[in-house]
Amino acid sequence: MEKQKTLNIFHIIIYIFFAVGAAGHFIAFTKPVMLYMTPYVLAIAGVFVLGFSGSIKNNKFILFFIISFLMTFTLEVAGVKTGMIFGKYTYGDVLGYKVAAVPVIIGFNWIFVILGALNIGIILSRKTLFVCLAAGILSVVFDMLLEPAAINLDYWSWHNNVVPFQNYTAWFIISFIFAFSFLYFKVNVYSKTFVHYFIAQLMFFIILNYY
């Protein structure tokens, strides 16, 4: 009971954390600080989410996380270099340290988006196809709501300032495949903490879209 209470408090903190961050973007004095802190905030928040989800106690999950990070990051590098996966785009400097022109935090946060969407699907149904479709669709919805704010804040920019349909197709396929892999290999780490983190980030970008 005490553990659940602590978890509920943490979930509330997640929402407050991102609400304060969003508010900071609306104030001229604090906006530069918010932008500078973006990659560090995502890294720290992600680590806490992993801790409170209990996932780091599962060796299979850790392996899944590492492989997912390496693969999503590699896809991003290939995408930036060739324009053949997501379309033609380049990253700005807001998201921090880069390797091969791709911010390291991107691969890290990709996984949380997929895990959040995946866990929402699992809450709704335990059928593999439904969960994978839900993960793909929700990830695309997340990206569609993320794009306007991300472009405005110079997270990245698209060729001719147009987000190609190819980008959303890639998001769906990649999320679907990773969700299927998660279920097929029976990683069996389910947590509403991933869901709350997904929703908090989604609300953050929806708010910033009105900036």
Count Cβ atoms below 10 Å from residue 194 Cβ, excluding itself. 26
Among 69, 88, 113, which residue's Cα sits nearest to residue 204? 113
pLDDT tens column, 165-202: 999 999 999 999 999 999 999 998 999 999 999 999 99
> Quick one: average pLDDT of 109-125?
96
- Return the pLDDT at 3: 82
In the chain, % of residues over pLDDT 70? 99
The number of folded domains in the chain is 1
Q: Scan for tokens 């989604």, then name that residue.
A: 202
- Domain interval for residue 22: 2-208
Backbone torsion region of residue 198, taken as left when φ is above 0, otherwise alpha when ψ lies between -120 and 50, otherwise beta: alpha
Q: Select the more confidently predicted residue: 3 or 155.
A: 155
pTM listed for this prediction: 0.95
- Return the pLDDT at 2: 78
CA–CA separation, 85 and 79 (whole Å): 5
Among 65, 48, 167, 154, which residue's Cα sits nearest to residue 108? 65
Q: Does residue 211 have a pLDDT over 80?
A: no
- Per-chain mean pLDDT for the chain: 95
Contact 156, 92 (CB under 8 A): yes
> Quick one: average pLDDT of 105-115?
95
